[in-house]
Structure 1
């Protein structure tokens, strides 16, 4: 059993710890050994706190010995994306501007994990300012995909997804401001949830660059793992007033209600890899086989104004950072310096007009989810590409810009709804493909039910990249 600890899901790990067939320190050492042996090829973790993790694991073992575990995640290792603050650990955010920054306190979601006994092993790699769709930066270099280390795991939660997919940790935390959990989860064959705005409370973090459109979310191998994590950190907290009003995440429904599903295989004339369309279309058919009502058609939302104004959020956020730190333009990469300069030229009217655009879009999205319970799309328009390239320049033989691969995801951040990426197969080149499912605002629990029932019918947890099996 000890040689295959990484194959256990979170409930199995928790049960083994409570019954005493495994100790937290043994589980941790298993993962530390795997990190030391496998991460050199991947570059998932940019900071490893082995001694701090060992201390936390020993404390967990003391609780288990007295029969007083703190919760379902007690004693289980986790890695944290390097744009979330962890006390006494670096938070470099992929930029030379923060190369020497050490966090004084845990950001709220991290604090909730620590209070529940989670064993924090370290921080995972990101692109600079977590504003790109691949994972690489001038401080730590690029991260590879466990299914093919020459390719990217996507971004910006690339280090977090790669660590889970390779079995270096059983779960991780990421963030999603435009698809940064869902696309990378799809590229690596794991599950990634972007919760509703406020579902996981946030407080005490880095400067927000995407307003409330960026949320924290869990990454794991199974839907039930994600549900378990959400039961710990998806809770109301006075640190974030937006977190109030959600019901507690409960146990999975044994018989999920029949859903009205809209499957959208492409957005207008934006190119999509035909293999991805075929695998996602097959998955939509499988939902119909499971008893759901599946309709195919275009997304009945106007995305033009949201897409046109989307850069306003990041550019004004960077402009504020530049105004507050005289070192900004000297230390950050040129594209981000240029974005900050562009943001500084925007007016208050420009910014507030886009906020009004977001508000109107959220109203329109709410109407859509009165007609449908769930919208399905591919998680990405392209397969994973070379790890040192920021985006694939061509998709299905057509030129694609920096966001061409990401066309399916940022509208979900704009409206604030929950979205999940689940594996639906692998292409001819062996790379995983993810399907995105989106539900009404606040319907995170029902979305997990739907994804979990699909996983039960078409399981994927036993599919591992060759690298993970070494």
Structure 2
């Protein structure tokens, strides 16, 4: 960030320092709203904008900073909220016609904590219907494009969020991750995305939990420090306890180039391999695990959880036929055919997976994988049908992320160093349950050496 960079390009932590030095939060929000007006039409990232509410909140923040009584380090910082998280007074559609007119009257708990911390909520970001797909498109708002190439997808389900953060339409975004929905979009757009351990961020009242305990709330930002600043607010009071755990002086790191022989795009493979080589050159102890088959049973678990969740949700809407996409209708039909025995068998598989990964993390501090198996594909298509010459199904691009959700583990997507002109690639670092603190410290220590944010276009 240089002195001539526009206000909207500042990070959350930079804003805090600038506000303390006299920068007006209203000037920041006015600049950000102008930038949104110029940028959002080509990406379709923010689908509900609350300009008047943001300006009023900025004026209140300015008064607190003037009086020397900011609510927190995030006071006056512009943020967005994913459209499956409830914000009082703002439409929450979950990307579906079934909720097109739903306006909640209270904030979901992490939103309330951000508001109490003085963060300025600009609006809601686009999602795929019911946030169960890996791209971002719906019948209400249309398709969201990737800031690096709007013809390509930013991924999903936090596609609108990453498009907003990557282009400076907000400092960070509040999102959900049920199977990789924070980490893969962050990887596709060169951002930092954090999925905390289960129960770290308490949600409160929200949309029905169709993915059960798989889905959690976490932040996406352009840098690690902003992610940690957001966690200090949304994960209180658990966060100080988790951050008290130290990073081992020589962490033991396992690296899985792929899961069960799943195909990985050659460019992703090469970038990750270069990053691992650089990590070893820095003195990190990284052991390659190949073949890596511990996560293989999850392939049969994920469809059971997601399809039964969709079927259960639509039972609550008797007139849903004709109101949802064909893909959602197919998931409903598949979920309706599944039995309680199928669901309990899936949970039993998860329990067995937990034992296997507990043994893994007794031996290693971190597991590193690619974050996504595919580079961004055409924005209106649900998934790439082929990866590295091999046909794949709808979750072929997403093989590395859902295991983290099933087991309640923390994981972070970090942007790798890439050649000029290349699309971003993200590396995923996974830690054991409730080892969020050491993971955060690792990311912070090696940001700038192994992991580097770049703007899609120079601000």
Structure 2 distance, partners of 1:397, 1:359, is: 34
How do 1:284-299 and structure 2 match up within 5 A?
284-298=276-290
Structure 1 distance, partners of 2:292, 2:370, is: 16
Which residue is equivalent to 1:444? 436
CA offsets 1:171-213 (integer angstroms, 9 cap, x no match): 0011111111111101100100011101111110100111101
TM-score (norm 2): 0.95
Structure 1 distance, partners of 2:108, 2:62, is: 25
Which residue is equivalent to 2:63? 62
Count matched residues: 457
Structure 1 distance, partners of 2:248, 2:24, is: 36
Which residue is equivalent to 2:228? 227
Q: CA deviation at 1:3?
A: 5.0
Which residue is equivalent to 2:309? 317
SS of the residue aligned with 2:447?
helix
Which residue is equivalent to 2:17? 15
Q: CA deviation at 1:100?
A: 0.9
Contact between 1:231 and 1:250, CA under 8 Å: does it hold in 2?
no
Q: CA deviation at 1:335?
A: 2.0
Matched, 1:97 2:92: no
How do 1:347-358 and structure 2 match up within 5 A?
347-358=339-350
Contact between 2:173 and 2:219, CA under 8 Å: does it hold in 1?
yes
Contact between 1:276 and 1:427, CA under 8 Å: does it hold in 2?
no
CA offsets 1:213-252 (integer angstroms, 9 cap, x no match): 111110001111111111111124xxxxxxx6x6435499
Stretch moving more, 384-393 or 343-352: 343-352
CA offsets 1:79-131 (integer angstroms, 9 cap, x no match): 00000000011111111111111111111111111111110000000011101
SS of the residue aligned with 2:121?
strand
Which residue is equivalent to 1:335? 327
Structure 2 stretches of 5 or more lacking a match? none
SS of the residue aligned with 1:169?
coil
Which residue is equivalent to 1:464? 455
In structure 2, the CA distance between the partners of 1:438 and 1:338, relative to structure 1 (3 Å rule), is: same
Matched, 1:248 2:248: no
CA offsets 1:392-429 (integer angstroms, 9 cap, x no match): 11111111211111111111111111110011133686
Contact between 2:414 and 2:451, CA under 8 Å: does it hold in 1?
no
SS of the residue aligned with 1:356?
helix
Structure 2 distance, partners of 1:351, 1:48, is: 39
Structure 1 distance, partners of 2:347, 2:243, is: 33
CA offsets 1:249-276 (integer angstroms, 9 cap, x no match): 54997x8621111111112221111111
SS of the residue aligned with 1:408?
coil
Structure 2 distance, partners of 1:248, 1:11, is: 22
Structure 2 distance, partners of 1:309, 1:249, is: 29
Which residue is equivalent to 1:116? 117
Q: CA deviation at 1:295?
A: 0.4
Structure 1 distance, partners of 2:451, 2:352, is: 39
Contact between 1:260 and 1:294, CA under 8 Å: does it hold in 2?
yes
Q: CA deviation at 1:300?
A: 4.9
Q: CA deviation at 1:8?
A: 2.1
Q: CA deviation at 1:330?
A: 2.9
Matched, 1:78 2:79: yes
Which residue is equivalent to 1:181? 182
Matched, 1:269 2:271: no
Structure 2 distance, partners of 1:72, 1:140, is: 33
Matched, 1:151 2:152: yes
Matched, 1:395 2:396: no
SS of the residue aligned with 1:331?
coil
Q: CA deviation at 1:6?
A: 2.8
Contact between 2:259 and 2:295, CA under 8 Å: does it hold in 1?
no
Stretch moving more, 226-235 or 124-133: 226-235
TM-score (norm 1): 0.93
Q: CA deviation at 1:299?
A: 6.4
Q: CA deviation at 1:334?
A: 2.0
CA offsets 1:435-462 (integer angstroms, 9 cap, x no match): 000011111111111111221324624x
Structure 1 stretches of 5 or more lacking a match? 237-243
SS of the residue aligned with 1:430?
coil
Structure 2 distance, partners of 1:197, 1:39, is: 33
Which residue is equivalent to 1:241? none
Stretch moving more, 131-140 or 4-13: 4-13
Contact between 2:259 and 2:296, CA under 8 Å: does it hold in 1?
no
Which residue is equivalent to 2:205? 204
Structure 1 distance, partners of 2:63, 2:261, is: 59
From 361, 368, 378, the equivalent of 1:369 is 361
How do 1:15-54 and structure 2 match up within 5 A?
15-20=17-22, 22-54=23-55
Structure 1 distance, partners of 2:373, 2:147, is: 20
Contact between 1:223 and 1:455, CA under 8 Å: does it hold in 2?
yes
Structure 1 distance, partners of 2:451, 2:198, is: 29
